[in-house]
Amino acid sequence: EAQVTQNPRYLITVTGKKLTVTCSQNMNHEYMSWYRQDPGLGLRQIYYSMNVEVTDKGDVPEGYKVSRKEKRNFPLILESPSPNQTSLYFCASSFAGGNSPLHFGNGTRLTVT
């Protein structure tokens, strides 16, 4: 089944403790992206990747890192999480090209205390 898989689904952590949220897609998509969803703010892009070893900042990249060493994986790294990073995170992927829809994972709900 074609899908985007994120792990974990739920994560509670403390301020400053490094964490990684994994994302994997099995559709051979070139493009991958991370979004965060917050009430009243909709979805905002954190980072994106056009292909292997090509990553760039989205609209809200502060406090996050990503890597794209393989085409299928695009982990999101929080080196020193803070409470304002408490949010619902989505990984998404698509083929390159403007008319390709994004395919989303089921989300990771992160709470930072």
Residues in the interface with other proteins (CB under 8 A) total 27
Q: Cα–Cα–Cα angle for 61, 34, 107, nearest 5°? A: 130
CB of 51 to other proteins, least distance (A): 11
Q: Cα–Cα–Cα angle for 13, 110, 81, nearest 5°? A: 55
Interface with other proteins includes 103 (CB under 8 A)?
A: yes
Q: Which is nearer to other proteins, 14 or 23 (CB)?
A: 23
Interface with other proteins includes 4 (CB under 8 A)?
A: yes
Question: How many residues does this entry show for the chain?
Answer: 113
Interface with other proteins includes 80 (CB under 8 A)?
A: no
For residue 101, give the amino acid letter: P
CB of 28 to other proteins, least distance (A): 14
Interface with other proteins includes 61 (CB under 8 A)?
A: no
Q: Which of 65, 11, 9, 13 is CA-nearest to residue 34?
A: 65
Name the DSSP class of 63. Answer: T
- Give the one residue of 56, 70, 82, 83 binding other proteins; rule: CB under 8 A: 56
